[in-house]
Amino acid sequence: MTTDDAPDEIALAAALGRLVTEGIALACRRIRPGDESYLLPAEARSISARGAERRRASGAARLAARTLLSARLGEAVEIPRGPSGQPLWPDGVVGSLAHDETMAVAAVASVGAIRSLGIDVEPSLPLPDELLDLVVMPNDRTGDLEPSFAARLLFSAKEAVYKAAFPLDGRFLDYGDIAIDLPAGHATTRTGHRFQLRHLTFPRIVTLASF
Ligand SMILES: CC(C)(COP(=O)(O)OP(=O)(O)OC[C@H]1O[C@@H](n2cnc3c(N)ncnc32)[C@H](O)[C@@H]1OP(=O)(O)O)[C@@H](O)C(=O)NCCC(=O)NCCS
């Protein structure tokens, strides 16, 4: 992965090292012009209807994931999008992808060590006020964090949890269907799943949900 012109990528990669837990590998890539060209044929077909910016971000995320998988599976391992948007991982692998406007992240693990994974990345900024009522629910717990920054962490955690939960049962979850306990580091869903949460707050918010 090229890091020469991307100090933000170097900083996030170093921070991701603090999120790594046994059995889970993480990588990031700054989204660069032309990253859509890293989409392999099945990936490009599965993403063809999306706009250029989304395809660029998807290419960057898959390149990051391939750096984690290539030692075991080779560099041509494909991660197309499934019919509901979920990434389709090769046999024996669970994982998750995310991107914000400038950065893409990937998390992978071997089936067995981990049953399901979800990741999210967000700018390290408060959540806009107009989204607070949509995201923050009475049964979420945030400790003594500043409310609008805590809301961004909740937003990120709920997206990560949704991505980890969907592959288990294919069920849609809304923000109100996921209860987050940030101080305790776990989440529960209306559908009966429970996930461990780990997060970074700087240089970006990154949440990892796993079980
Ligand atoms: C999954 C979702 C939350 C992702 O949010 P986003 O803002 O589009 O984008 P992110 O960068 O965070 O994540 C994108 C990645 O999520 C993954 N993803 C998309 N749908 C997924 C699903 N159903 N299950 C697991 N992962 C999924 C894909 O890998 C995607 O990357 P790709 O487009 O390169 O393949 C959103 O697409 C979605 O499906 N929302 C419906 C459910 C929802 O919003 N509920 C309320 C919040 S819990």
Kindly report each contact of residues 39-42 with a partner whose C-beta sits within 8 Å and lies 24 or more positions away, as own/partner.
40/76, 40/78, 41/78, 42/78, 42/80
User: Which of 44-53, 89-98, 172-181, 193-202 has the lowest average pLDDT?
Assistant: 44-53
Distance from the alpha carbon of residue 62 to the mean position of ligand 1, in angstroms: 14
Residue 109 resides in a domain: yes
Residues 13 and 108 in one domain: yes
Residues 39 and 99 in one domain: yes
Residues 13 and 82 in one domain: yes
Q: Is the CB of 85 under 6 A from ligand 1?
A: yes
Residue 1 resides in a domain: no
Is 62 marked within a binding site? yes
Question: How far is the CA of 12 from the CAs of 3, 15, 177, 181, 182, in angstroms?
Answer: 11, 5, 30, 24, 21
- Of the three residues 65, 97, 114, the one that is the final residue of a domain is 114
| pLDDT tens-place string over residues 15-69 | 999 998 889 999 999 999 999 999 999 999 999 777 899 999 999 999 999 999 9
Residues 190 and 127 in one domain: yes
Q: Is the CB of 86 under 6 A from ligand 1?
A: yes
Residues 85 and 165 in one domain: no
Distance from the alpha carbon of residue 128 to the mean position of ligand 1, in angstroms: 20
Residues 126 and 172 in one domain: yes
Segments forming the whole domain that contains residue 191 = 122-199
Residue 209 resides in a domain: no
Distance from the alpha carbon of residue 115 to the mean position of ligand 1, in angstroms: 18
Give the total number of structural domains in the chain: 2
Residue 97 resides in a domain: yes
Q: Which of 39, 97, 116 to mutate to test the pocket of ligand 1 (most atoms within 8 A of CB)?
A: 97
| pLDDT tens-place string over residues 78-136 | 999 999 999 999 999 999 999 999 999 999 999 998 999 999 999 999 999 999 999 99
Residue 12 resides in a domain: yes
Residue 2 resides in a domain: no
Residues 25 and 91 in one domain: yes
- Of the three residues 55, 87, 114, the one that is the final residue of a domain is 114
Residue 210 resides in a domain: no
Residues 18 and 106 in one domain: yes
Residues 155 and 180 in one domain: yes
Residues 59 and 108 in one domain: yes
Residue nearest to atom 14 of ligand 1 (CA): 98
Is 120 marked within a binding site? yes
- Of the three residues 114, 147, 180, the one that is the final residue of a domain is 114
The whole-angstrom separation of Cα 4 and Cα 200 is 23
At which residue do the structure tokens 């898959």 appear?
Answer: 62
